[in-house]
Amino acid sequence: MASTPEFQHTVGKTASLSGTALHTGEKVSLKLHPAPVGYGIKFKRKDLQDEPTIDARIDNLKTVERATTIGEGSVRVHTVEHVLAALSAMDVDNAIVEMDANEPPIGDGSAQLYVDLIKRAGVTVQEEPRKFFDVREPMHVESKTGALLVLLPDEKFRISCTQAGPNNRFTQFLSMEVTPTAFEREIAPARTFVYYEDVQPLMEKNLIKGGSLENAIVVRGEAVLSKEPLRFADEFVRHKILDIIGDLALVGRRIRGHVVAVKPGHATNAELVRALAREQTRRSAIAVPRAMPTGDGGSRLMNHFFRGISPVIRSCRA
């Protein structure tokens, strides 16, 4: 079967990588496995008894502080957004993400390692149509901190994002259609960043244990601290788009719409996903056909209907 964006895809074979987790600082190995149609993306905790899995859906979202954490019961997987962004943007609908710790490797702070992993595994088309969420009318969410996300109708998946730091430092804008080629070239290499004044509070919360200039950019005043020069002049807004793609993957459907984002963050992204999930539930309820009674009950109902409508038909013919 020829590859087509209208059909579901999985990875062609198992591929693996290893590295250090950003927030926990633990060493972790990750394997990407093929999955059947309709499976979605599930994270498997290989290190726990019975190897539980967590469905990457909005119902399982637990926390959004500096990262996106999903869980079921007492089981958690932290910082899933880079993995999900790469899988979604590279056209993978169904896969098992197996890990031997509770957080994926951070790599260099971008999604490039996961794009490379997916390319090593290959992407295979499956014989089942994709499920889409078609935006029919404008939707929006807004936070008290000034974050705003608007979702508009569009035939493609587009994101237009404005990023601004404290006191509007490093204000950047980028608008693009999200495709595998554009993601790999323009978004995946963009690294995570943090403002210097936020570093100490994060450390006090027992976060970023694995953080360093090897896997994050630190912004101090007007200076940018990094092991290498910025990969893009607007690298910060590109990473924000990466996070939006990853968080919106929790919808569990391909979005056909245009996201307009101003100063986005994981919390606001999650609120938009919840709004989409509520709208999809509403649509599904409307689309469910009402069953006609069967047997003698159905026959009596139809006879009653035709007896009632016959006089109306005769009067129209007169």
Confidence of residue 166 (pLDDT cuts 50, 70, 90): confident
Contact 249, 183 (CB under 8 A): no
Give the ranges where the chain is alpha helix by DSSP (H).
81-89, 112-121, 180-182, 196-204, 235-248, 266-287, 295-317
- Strand 95-99 relative to strand 41-45: parallel, antiparallel, unpaired? parallel
Mean pLDDT of the chain: 89
What was the pLDDT predicted at 197? 83
Q: What sign results for the dihedral spanned by CA atoms 117, 106, 67, 159?
A: negative
pLDDT tens figures, 15-35: 999 999 887 788 999 999 999
What was the pLDDT predicted at 258? 98
In the predicted structure, residue 3 carries a pLDDT above the cut 60: no
- Quick one: tokens of 150? 């608007």
Name, in order, each residue with C-beta under 8 angstroms of 269's C-beta and a sequence gap of 6 or more.
64, 149, 243, 244, 247, 248
Lowest-confidence pick of 33-47, 83-97, 184-198: 184-198
- CATH (residue range 7-285): 3.30.230.20
Name, in order, each residue with C-beta under 8 angstroms of 18's C-beta and a sequence gap of 6 or more.
27, 28, 29, 30, 105
Lowest-confidence pick of 41-55, 91-105, 205-219, 262-276: 205-219
Confidence of residue 306 (pLDDT cuts 50, 70, 90): very low
Give me the residue spans of the domains in the chain. 7-285
Catalytic sites, residue numbers: 266
Name, in order, each residue with C-beta under 8 angstroms of 156's C-beta and a sequence gap of 6 or more.
177, 178, 256, 258
What was the pLDDT predicted at 10? 98
Name, in order, each residue with C-beta under 8 angstroms of 312's C-beta and a sequence gap of 6 or more.
none
